[in-house]
Amino acid sequence: MLDFSEQPHKRKNLLTGEYILVSPHRSKRPWQGQIEDISSDDRPQYDSKCYLCPGNTRADGTKNPDYGDSFVFVNDFSALLKDTPQESYEEEGLLLAESEKGICKVISFSPRHDLTLPQMSLSEIKAVTDLWQKEFEELSSQNWIKYIQIFENKGAIMGCSNPHPHGQIWAQSSIPVEVEKETIQQREYYEKNGRTLLQDYLALELKKNERIIVDNEHFVAVVPFWAAWPYETMIISKRPVQSILEFSESEKEDLARTLQELTVRYDNIFKTSFPYSAGMHQAPVNSGDQPEWHWHMHFYPPLLRSATVKKFMVGYEMLATPQRDITPEQAANTLREQSTIHYKQK
């Protein structure tokens, strides 16, 4: 019988159909790595030079309002533009391109420059979930928009250009590659079984209880069986909804609670503000009913052994298949062992 804790093996990502190589024999006790309490990430509550702080002027000359919770605006340096004309290019069937239009927005999670999600109160995080839902509804009302990506890059190591706690929303005229992959896998499963893929996967994870981190009335945070990043997790709604639009008030409150508890555990692993890229995956919009889609949110953190040692996707990972040393079960144990009280509050 295959020994997950000792033998190299492959695991299938149910959402993409792709595989991850796991090499557990290379690093059996990763949670005993170096712990570094980095104080250099301390920041003032207000920074006069920050374009996200209340009352400050942004690059385009717009002055931020004196907002009290979360605040959203169109990105001054958007990767996608709403007025891009529809054009295409083809040369000998080998060089292909077409224009892409969209809307990119920035969401400041808090007026305070020094707070991240795990340091915010539940009511403050709930205000963020309310704004996510509101923005999703407004953007999806525009028929030309086909997908809305809500995400956050946290930390300079993840390319975040401003330490003020914020996320982004990109709405675009086509469906992104990763979402296309997940659509195909979920649709095939739903057509065969009449239930969503994540509905059945979540039931199995709850039954086994080997990789569960957070379990409340409406959401579960789990280290996926196929996780590629060291402390990768996924939040899954217990109710199989297609998008954040369907969440009730109690579900949004539980989502805020799940986000707080998970991110606090992250920070507590190495006693540092834990970097990650995180984002929701939900059904494409203006594309008809898609009952196979089940809302979920991915967290991809790169830290491996300390606040300064990260996992790189290089060499074999870039040329062949993603690979990891610590198993998802070991990562889940590490996360479960962490307190739900932020290390800076102790």
Q: Angle CA(262)–CA(263)–CA(266) in degrees, nearest 5?
A: 95
Task: Provide the greatest CA pair distance for the chain.
Answer: 64
Residue 119 and residue 343 in contact, taking contact as beta carbons nearer than 8 Å: no
Amino acid residing at 197:
L
Of the listed 113, 166, 294, 296, which one is catalytic? 166
| Nearest CA-CA partner of 271 in 346, 214, 221, 163 | 346
Q: For residues 332, 336, 342 and 345, what is the CA-based torsion angle, rounded to 10 degrees?
A: -150
Q: For residues 37, 41, 42 and 47, what is the CA-based torsion angle, rounded to 10 degrees?
A: 180
Q: Active site includes 166?
A: yes
| Lookup: tokens for 154 | 């946290």
User: What amino acid positions are annotated as catalytic residues?
Assistant: 166
